[in-house]
Structure 1
């Protein structure tokens, strides 16, 4: 049961993270940042997502 709960939370977290990333990249970054800065921030976001997923897999 705990494993099922963890998997559900992981799925929700991934969905929320993806939704935020899409909003952030498509709306916020497009309006206020130049292309180089936006690309740098996108790289940081994807790197952080990979770290979080890696940590969740190891739990």
Structure 2
């Protein structure tokens, strides 16, 4: 949605993308931490139903 609305072209949109990256498994690299020191990771949603549905 960020890219479709062309928000990634602004500094605020880029900060949103970096915040999403920060909340992912490996987090931010040292280079990104240095470039964006004030980024706080977005909160990940809680998954209530972790059961895999039977595809058959």
Same fold (TM over 0.5): no
With structure 2 as the length reference, what TM-score do the two structures score? 0.33
Greater share of helix residues, 1 or 2? 1
With structure 1 as the length reference, what TM-score do the two structures score? 0.32
Q: Which of 1 and 2 has greater Rg?
A: 2
Higher relative contact order (CA 8 A, sep 6+): 1
